[in-house]
Structure 1
């Protein structure tokens, strides 16, 4: 190619969709190569879901509500938690775990040479199909729980629910990418990556429990506005399990803004980190 030749045109959205399905197919073939391991991971994930559900069934033998959430309302919350987390584990978790290792070993050099968006490649090149079993179990739990709630969900809530599930996944992804991108500067950031598990554990409970004290109010404000992980599960679960009111409408609007802001910031930080990257051969 001559020095004055124009660079190739950027890939279209359809090209990226096709590439994603190719990644998904290759990952499925790789998982099926080790069927026993795939089945074990599938079963253990489902067992964990049922054990978690059994724990809360025991709790509801001694109380009618947890922070204003009745038994089947809370089961909708649990189902939403599993749905969001299973999608994160299927699409993003294995890739974010390997980013630090790619930087350390120089494997990131090869990713940068590919004629596609680097963040897309590093985020979706591996799909963890074994985590999809939890998604199916959570759908069943959601349907059964909603059947026990008269008048829920509303038509608007049911229509918005998939949108906010995706928004929750993308918001968690933005937090994960922000932390993982720091490995480009640090070389190894396992402790910061572990921090993702610590902070996302707060999203697994209704935000109403973070109140009534200075510490609780502080945690609720911090994890709603500073690191907005409380809206990840609470917003879609409220849309399905509770009547819509002014507070839930406000949180729903804020959740979309937080998702856009989180994705924008993580994209900016990733690009800045790449600008500082020095290849393994340099």
Structure 2
């Protein structure tokens, strides 16, 4: 474990040095992040001009969820997107061979080698928006609610990682799977609002098949006291199952990988 912590720290150091080689670009990206979060808040306000609640959630409760959505999106852009796109390239070009020969777990290396640091602003601003909304609600989470939030939020990140990694691993068998990332993004956009907004088959799909509910709705519900203990356990269970399936699929994929030297 210590070995991988040190390795991740080296990944961060190398990527941070690379990021600050283009400081003007770094600053411009930060401004872009602030702008798009501001636009997202305005979009929510438009919905609430004609209603007092959406799916049983009030304006500031939805802002709590929107902040978490922004934080999860920042996690995707900080770690997942830059690495998963490179996985497809490595398989196509055969350069995955060089990674497999390294004395480190190949899935760990593929998942965390490249980091986009300015995307941390999404995470910080998202959690800041969540904190602001909680203040406006006069809802100070208790210690139990904070613990539940941390557990469910970490579980949501595991679910996101597993879903994205699982889709990208189809590149071991298919020639082109880039469009799957757009499919994921389309489904992920539905997480901007509580899953209770959606009805019927769509709600079932977003809860049990493509578990969007576990990504944003459950963490937000934990902060505003809308989640029960069994739902926390359920979130952890879903995360463990998703990660276990992803890990198993990775091992199967490697067995089917035809290297450039074979």
Structure 1 residue 250 displacement after superposition: 3.5
- How big is each residue's C-alpha offset from its partner over 1:31-63, in whole Å with a ceiling of 9 and x where there is no partner? 111112222222112211111111212332332
Report the counterpart of residue 243 of structure 2 in structure 1.
Answer: 263
- How big is each residue's C-alpha offset from its partner over 1:156-205, in whole Å with a ceiling of 9 and x where there is no partner? 11122122211111101000010111111113311223222122223222
- How big is each residue's C-alpha offset from its partner over 1:253-277, in whole Å with a ceiling of 9 and x where there is no partner? 2111110000000111111011000
The whole-number CA distance in structure 1 between the counterparts of 2:75 and 2:217 is 17
The whole-number CA distance in structure 2 between the counterparts of 1:252 and 1:271 is 29
SS of residue in 2 equivalent to 1:201:
helix
TM norm structure 2 = 0.95
Is the Cα contact below 8 Å between 2:145 and 2:222 reproduced in 1?
Answer: yes
Runs of at least 5 residues in structure 2 that lack an aligned partner in the other structure: none
Q: Does 1:281 align with 2:261?
A: yes
Report the counterpart of residue 99 of structure 2 in structure 1.
Answer: 111
Is the Cα contact below 8 Å between 1:203 and 1:231 reproduced in 2?
Answer: no
Is the Cα contact below 8 Å between 2:60 and 2:136 reproduced in 1?
Answer: yes
Decide whether aligned partners of structure 1 residues 59 and 166 sit closer, same or farther in structure 2, where only a CA change above 3 A counts: same
TM norm structure 1 = 0.88
Is the Cα contact below 8 Å between 2:146 and 2:223 reproduced in 1?
Answer: yes
Q: How many residues align?
A: 262
The whole-number CA distance in structure 1 between the counterparts of 2:176 and 2:65 is 35
SS of residue in 1 equivalent to 2:261:
coil
Report the counterpart of residue 230 of structure 1 in structure 2.
Answer: 213
Structure 1 residue 220 displacement after superposition: 1.5
Structure 1 residue 152 displacement after superposition: 4.0
The whole-number CA distance in structure 2 between the counterparts of 1:243 and 1:259 is 20
The whole-number CA distance in structure 2 between the counterparts of 1:102 and 1:54 is 40
Greater Cα radius of gyration, structure 1 or 2: 1
The whole-number CA distance in structure 2 between the counterparts of 1:220 and 1:250 is 20
Q: 2:234 aligns with which of 254, 268, 272?
A: 254
Structure 1 residue 22 displacement after superposition: 0.3
Runs of at least 5 residues in structure 1 that lack an aligned partner in the other structure: 1-12, 212-216
Report the counterpart of residue 155 of structure 1 in structure 2.
Answer: 143
Q: Aligned-residue CA RMSD in angstroms?
A: 1.5
Is the Cα contact below 8 Å between 2:151 and 2:232 reproduced in 1?
Answer: no
Q: 2:224 aligns with which of 241, 247, 250?
A: 241
Structure 1 residue 234 displacement after superposition: 0.8
The whole-number CA distance in structure 2 between the counterparts of 1:240 and 1:186 is 41
The 5-angstrom pairing of residues 48-197 of structure 1 reads 48-197=36-185
Q: Which runs of 4+ in 1 moved over 4 A?
A: none
Deviates more, 1:157-166 or 1:265-274: 157-166
The whole-number CA distance in structure 1 between the counterparts of 2:126 and 2:187 is 22
